[in-house]
Amino acid sequence: MIKWPDGKSLAFGLMIPWEVWPADIGTPKSNQRSSQHAVPSDARYPRDMWAVWDHEYAEAQGLRRLLTMFDDFNIKSTFVANGKRVEMNPDLAREAAAAGHDMGSENYEHVYPIMMTLEEERASLEGCVAAFKSVLGAAPTGYISPGHRPTPNTFPLIFELGYNWMSDFQGDDVPFRVQDGDRDLVCMPYAHVSDYQTYATDGRTPRDMLEMAIDEFDVLRKEGLRGSPKMMGFAIHPFLCHGFRTRAIERLLEHVLACPDVWVTTRSEITDWVRKNPKEFATVSMESVLSMFPVT
């Protein structure tokens, strides 16, 4: 049975994917999500500029709104930024790091690893680490794959590059360790609920998202209070941080912070705790993780 510091019932952490979109965004070739239906394949002009400009909101307004919110609530979040984004917006990246937020990463640009060769995935990850070291003076702390679509190459690469944690896992509500010789990687769930639940054409509102997130939180907290502690992530994309969405996030944080038995934390703090208390968390081998990938 896992335990959290001071017997807390639940570890709750915010995840901030801050991304750079490939050049084909808004075209029929794009694999990126949009709030609109795809441009028709026979369109005379093949780019949906709404999708392009919609994704630019993060740097214009969204990230600043988030940083102010975190200051207001006196909480720290975990960023997962593309290396190219850190290079393109170094002042914002440094401000987030200086405020004490946990600075993890995706790869260099928001391209799914499943579309890459080994050499391309390696170059993307190496470029990301180099960008972080150049702009922030330190390598990223942990990793998520764009789209949560890693390959069999992803795990050896992030071990090689010194990442401490990975949050692609949606199959549980607790962390575990992946062991590779004398090295380990703390693996944990990303977020079963996020602001993406309001980003589509399905009619779901931020109030619906808030209700979903509170229900998830209340159930996991109740299980923790009964002796089975869990963790919960909630993901916030800065390009979606318009006021009508962030108001719902503020209400979620008010609900969370009203519970003194909840540990509001970052992925790196969770990683440190797991490594200090390894016997309380499951450990699997690198070989067992790689065996989950089908042979191609």
Span 73-83, average pLDDT: 98
Say what percent of the chain tops pLDDT 90: 82
The CATH number given to 5-290 is 3.20.20.370
Q: What's the pLDDT tens digit per position in 155-199? A: 999 999 999 999 999 899 999 999 999 999 999 999 999 998 888
| Distance set, CA 276 to CA 186, 234, 280 (Å) | 12, 25, 10
Q: What's the pLDDT tens digit per position in 253-282? A: 999 999 999 999 999 999 999 999 999 999
pLDDT value at 51 more than 80: yes
What is the band of 84 on the pLDDT scale with cuts at 50, 70, 90? very high
Return the residue matching tokens 């640009």.
109
The tokens for 224 are 């923790």
Q: What's the pLDDT tens digit per position in 105-122? A: 999 999 999 999 999 999
Span 231-239, average pLDDT: 97
Largest CA distance in the chain: 62
Q: What's the pLDDT tens digit per position in 128-161? A: 999 999 999 999 999 999 999 999 999 999 999 9
pLDDT at residue number 50: 84
pLDDT at residue number 176: 97
This prediction has a pTM of 0.94
pLDDT at residue number 116: 96
